[in-house]
Structure 1
Amino acid sequence: PGVREDVMQIILNVKGIAVKSYVEDEKTIELDVEGPAEITAGDILTDSDIEIVNPDHYLFTIGEGASLKAIMTVNAGRGYVPADENKKDDAPVGTLAVDSIYTPVKKVNYQVEPARVGSNDGFDKLTLEIMTDGTIIPEDALGLSARILTQHLDLFTNLTEVAKSTDVMKE
Structure 2
Amino acid sequence: MGRGQLVRQRVLVPLFGDVRGRVISWSSAGACGFKGTRRGTPFAAQTAAGNAIRTVVDQGMQQAEVMIKGPGLGRDAALRAIRRSGILLSFIRDWKCVESRADSKRLYYGRFILAPLMKGQADTIGIAMRRALLGEIEGTCITRAKSEKIPHEYSTIIGIQESVHEILMNLKEIVLRSNLYGTRNVSICIKGPGHVTAQDIILPPSVEIVDNTQHIANLTEPINLCIELQIERNRGYRIKTPNNFQDGSYPIDAVFMPVRNANHSIHSYVNGNEKQEILFLEIWTNGSLTPKEALHDASRNLID
User: What amino acid sits opposite 1:19 in the alignment?
Assistant: L
Residue 33 of structure 1: SS of its match in structure 2? strand
User: What amino acid sits opposite 2:216 in the alignment?
Assistant: L
Give me the whole-angstrom Cα distance separating, in 1, the residues matched to 2:264 and 2:185: 38
TM-score (norm 1): 0.73
| Corresponding residue for residue 109 of structure 1 | 263
| Corresponding residue for residue 35 of structure 2 | none
TM-score (norm 2): 0.43
Deviates most, 27-36 or 79-88: 79-88
**Identical residues among aligned pairs (%):** 27
Instruction: Looking at secondary structure, tell me which structure has more strand per residue.
Output: 2
Asked if the contact 1:86–1:99 (Cα under 8 Å) also holds between the matched residues in 2, the reply is no
| Corresponding residue for residue 275 of structure 2 | 122
Q: Which runs of 5+ in 2 are unaligned?
A: 1-157
Asked if the contact 2:192–2:222 (Cα under 8 Å) also holds between the matched residues in 1, the reply is yes
How far 1:20 moved relative to its partner?
2.0
How far 1:109 moved relative to its partner?
3.1
Of the candidates 287, 292, 296, which is equivalent to residue 139 of structure 1?
292
Give me the whole-angstrom Cα distance separating, in 1, the residues matched to 2:201 and 2:273: 57
User: What amino acid sits opposite 2:163 in the alignment?
Assistant: D
Q: Which runs of 5+ in 1 are unaligned?
A: 152-171
Residue 292 of structure 2: SS of its match in structure 1? helix
User: What amino acid sits opposite 2:169 in the alignment?
Assistant: L
User: What amino acid sits opposite 2:296 in the alignment?
Assistant: G
How far 1:41 moved relative to its partner?
0.9
Asked if the contact 1:104–1:133 (Cα under 8 Å) also holds between the matched residues in 2, the reply is yes
After superposition, the Cα gap between the structure-2 partners of 1:87 and 1:52, relative to the gap in structure 1 and judged at 3 Å, is: farther
Give me the whole-angstrom Cα distance separating, in 1, the residues matched to 2:199 and 2:229: 14
State which structure, 1 or 2, has the greater radius of gyration over its C-alpha atoms: 2
How far 1:130 moved relative to its partner?
0.7
User: What amino acid sits opposite 1:129 in the alignment?
Assistant: E
Give me the whole-angstrom Cα distance separating, in 2, the residues matched to 1:110 and 1:86: 40
Of the candidates 68, 93, 98, which is equivalent to residue 252 of structure 2?
98
How far 1:58 moved relative to its partner?
1.1
Give me the whole-angstrom Cα distance separating, in 2, the residues matched to 1:130 and 1:95: 35
| Corresponding residue for residue 227 of structure 2 | 70
| CA RMSD between the two structures | 2.6
Q: Deviations over 1:31-51 (max 9, x none)?
A: 111222121111111110111
Give me the whole-angstrom Cα distance separating, in 2, the residues matched to 1:14 and 1:116: 52
After superposition, the Cα gap between the structure-2 partners of 1:120 and 1:141, relative to the gap in structure 1 and judged at 3 Å, is: farther
How far 1:142 moved relative to its partner?
2.3
Asked if the contact 2:285–2:291 (Cα under 8 Å) also holds between the matched residues in 1, the reply is yes
User: What amino acid sits opposite 2:222 in the alignment?
Assistant: G
Q: Deviations over 1:104-162 (max 9, x none)?
A: 11122333224576x677322222121111122212322333444446xxxxxxxxxxx
Number of matched pairs: 147
Residue 83 of structure 1: SS of its match in structure 2? coil
